[in-house]
Structures are given as C-alpha cells and as structure tokens.
C-alpha cells in the first residue's frame, strides 16, 4: 500500500504570525516611503499593501489598535534581543559588550522609527496601546534590574536604588532613541551610542570604562613585547 503523507497545515498562530510580519512591512513601507501617519492608514489600505483582504484582516485583528499593539511587541522583542547581547554576558564587565548592545538597540529603533513613533503617539490616547507599551518597557526594565542586582552581588556595581535606576536607564534609552535617533541622520548614531554607553556604564560600575580600556591596552602591549 502506498503511504500518503499530507503536508502539515500551518496553525492559526503560524498564519497570524505570518500576517503580522507582512503587515509590519506594509505599515512601515507606507509610513516611511509615503510619509503617512498611522492614523491616516485605513484597514483597506493596510490590507491591500500586505496582499490580504479586509475580511482576512478582521479574522485575526480586532482593529488597527490591536494590530499596532502586536506590531509594537514585535519591535520591542527585537530591542530586547539586542539588549540581551549585554544582559547575558554582563558579568564579563566589558564596556565593549555594553556598547555593542546599545548599537544594536539604536539600529533597531532606527529601522522601526516610524512605527515606534506611532506607538508613542497612539499610547497618549489609547489606554490599550499605552498598557501594552508600558508592559513591554517593563519587561526590559526587569531584565536590567536583574543585571544590576547580579553586579551588586559581585561588588562590581555600585549600591543603588535598584528598581528606580533600572527604570530610569530603560526610559532614558527609549527617550533618547525616540527624540534623538528618530529625528537625526544616521551619521549621528555613533555619538549617541557612545553617550548612552558612557552614561550607563558610569552610573552602574565602580570601575570607569576608561580604566578598563587602559588596562586592556597595557596588557596587549605587554603580550606583544614578549
């Protein structure tokens, strides 16, 4: 008997995830390339740009606000992934690790600046979007707090009001990206990255980044002289 294997059909969650990716691309293309605000985008326009029907849109999304909340999570997940580059190896206490993570965060914000601006604007009058954005920021704040607490246990990080400092640093990065990265040319990114790196490092760590760099340079020279 011939065995017939049917291809597994994508689940509803998979189909929704695929639609979210297509709608993220469509939304950002309309906002960035055509200069449209999110409020100017109708469901019909979004659906057409993403290559789906209006009916399909409403099968998976309640309305534009629901879509925006989901797209915001996609972008903030990317931001969290960038920050995780430092969180996972923060115990190495290397400012270059922090700098690399900040660079990834800034680059992520720049790619999605139009959408993130829409999230911030919509959060000012849509409680559901505001709650989602606060929750996403809260997840990043909590991970930052864990890094601070771990550093304090190893006596590398200063004695600080942990919760407040974690919140302040998280919101600082978000506000700098929203106010400075979004409105400035990409050529300015490196100076912003360096500023954020120095502020975060010097807020947290007992040993200045410059001292670590000097020590590493000295060790490198000693090795070369052997």
Domains in the chain, CATH or no CATH each: 11-61 (1.10.10.60), 72-210 (1.10.357.10)
CB 49 within 8 A of CB 38: no
Mean pLDDT value across the chain: 88
Confidence category of residue 215, pLDDT binned at 50, 70, 90: very low
Q: Is residue 7 over pLDDT 80?
A: no
What's the pLDDT at 3? 53
- Tell me the whole-structure pTM to 2 decimals: 0.82
* Token pair recorded at residue 198: 């120095």
What residue spans of 94-182 are helical by DSSP H? 95-111, 113-123, 127-153, 162-176
Q: Is residue 218 over pLDDT 80?
A: no
The residue whose two tokens read 């057409």 is 48
- The string of pLDDT tens digits covering residues 72-122 is 999 999 999 999 999 999 999 999 999 999 999 999 999 999 999 999 999
What's the pLDDT at 212? 56
Confidence category of residue 159, pLDDT binned at 50, 70, 90: very high
């Amino acid at each position: 008997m011939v065995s017939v294997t049917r291809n597994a059909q994508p689940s509803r969650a998979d189909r929704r995830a695929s639609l979210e990716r297509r709608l993220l691309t469509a939304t950002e293309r309309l906002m960035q390339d055509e200069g449209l605000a999110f409020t100017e985008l109708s469901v019909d326009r979004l659906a057409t740009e993403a290559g789906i029907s209006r009916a399909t849109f409403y099968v998976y999304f309640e309305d534009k606000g629901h879509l925006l909340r989901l797209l915001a999570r996609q972008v903030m997940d990317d931001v969290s992934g960038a920050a995780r580059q430092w969180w996972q190896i923060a115990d190495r206490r290397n400012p270059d690790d922090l700098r690399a993570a900040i660079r990834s965060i800034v680059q992520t914000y720049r790619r999605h600046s139009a959408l993130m601006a829409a999230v911030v604007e919509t959060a000012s009058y849509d409680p559901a979007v505001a709650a989602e954005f606060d929750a996403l920021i809260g997840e990043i704040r909590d991970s930052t707090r864990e890094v601070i607490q771990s550093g304090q246990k190893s006596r590398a990080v200063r004695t600080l009001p942990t919760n407040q400092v974690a919140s302040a640093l998280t919101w600082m990065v978000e506000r700098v990206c929203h106010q400075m990265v979004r409105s400035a040319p990409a050529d300015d990114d490196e100076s912003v990255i360096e500023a954020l790196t120095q502020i975060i490092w010097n807020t947290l760590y007992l040993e200045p980044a410059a001292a670590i760099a000097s020590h590493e340079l000295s060790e490198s020279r000693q090795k070369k002289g052997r």
